[in-house]
Amino acid sequence: MHTAQPHKHPNYLLIWLYLFLLTVAELGLAFELPISRNMKLILLLFLAVWKALLVALFFMHLKFERWNLRILAIVPLPLAAILILAVITEHIW
Amino acid sequence: MTHAAVAASAMRPPFPAERGVDVYNKKLGMWVFLGSEVMFFTALIGSYVILRFGAPGPWALPGKVLNIPVTAFNTFLLICSSVSMVKAYAAIANGDQKWLKIWFGLTILCGAGFVAVQAYEYTHLIHHGFLPSGYRDGSELAELAAANPVMYGQAVAGLYGSTFFTMTGFHGFHVTCGVISMLYLYVTRVLPGKYTKDDHAGVEVVGLYWHFVDLVWIILFTIVYLI
């Protein structure tokens, strides 16, 4: 049976190391770094998205899939972003 | 031409079937399912955001109520399980049965470890008085919150408890389902050596689900425990 698109497997242990180091960075940022709360919030979300992208691109192999499957995977994300932005700005209305 | 043949001919599409996304059905089905899961967790996170931003007081500071070292260890376990799952997939893609069994087994162990640590975390929190309804009267946490109402978010303890247990509980339920699914595949397919270099769809499909569960935890860990 045909499974994934043929591709050279990336260095998964290196991706694991990145994920580990980014998690350590998150913990350091959350509890040790003396910066403003808003800046902390932005940086923590940035690190979380970075880690999520590493998992999606390399572990879920989206980087190596055909463009039409990538679109299928990406389609819910704008809807999710709209929902989150709408509820964040809800108190303005 | 019979009536049935005429009806069948009328229902036939006027154009030949087009090639789809060029992946097998199980994998396509899993991706569509994961799309629906994105919206499920987005609804939970959206509810959390609106409750937290609209709350009448500040949330408890990170690390005051929740046990960050234990959860950080759990995050590490889940990351390890994700890499072991992808290594299992890479092993069988090369036809290596031995390493498929080892990596797949490790994934199940890490996943079960995550569930066990989460059960410990819940037990510990409830013992100290953190419930979905807030801080239990007379508990250690209630006393700390009375002494430091802002630091422990006393005014919004109910919202804090309900959102925390709902989000992490649903995630834990997904992890549990993943562990059970993998255990089933391990016993019925992996150990008997039924996956081959040319047919290992089950490993890839359950792997996609497992990585998604890891991905959701990465987001939840940040917004629930660190912010």
Domains of chain B (ranges, CATH numbers):
24-226 (1.20.120.80)
Q: B148-203, pLDDT tens digit by residue?
A: 999 999 899 999 999 999 999 999 999 999 999 999 999 999 999 999 999 999 99
* Model-wide pTM > 0.80: yes
Q: Which residues of chain B have pLDDT under 70?
A: 1, 13-18
CB B110 within 8 A of CB B84: yes
| CA distance to partner chain B, nearest, from residue A73 (Å) | 7
Q: What is the ipTM of this complex?
A: 0.88
- Contact list in B for residue A13 (CB cut-off 8 A) is 83
Question: Which amino acid belongs to residue B185?
Answer: L
Q: How far is CA B136 from CA A2, A74, B48, in A?
A: 55, 43, 21
Interface test mutation site (partner B, options A16, A24, A41, A55, max chain B beta carbons within 10 A)? A55
A72 vs B35: CB contact, 8 Å cut-off?
Answer: yes
Interface test mutation site (partner B, options A2, A3, A9, A50, max chain B beta carbons within 10 A)? A3
CB A9 within 8 A of CB B93: yes
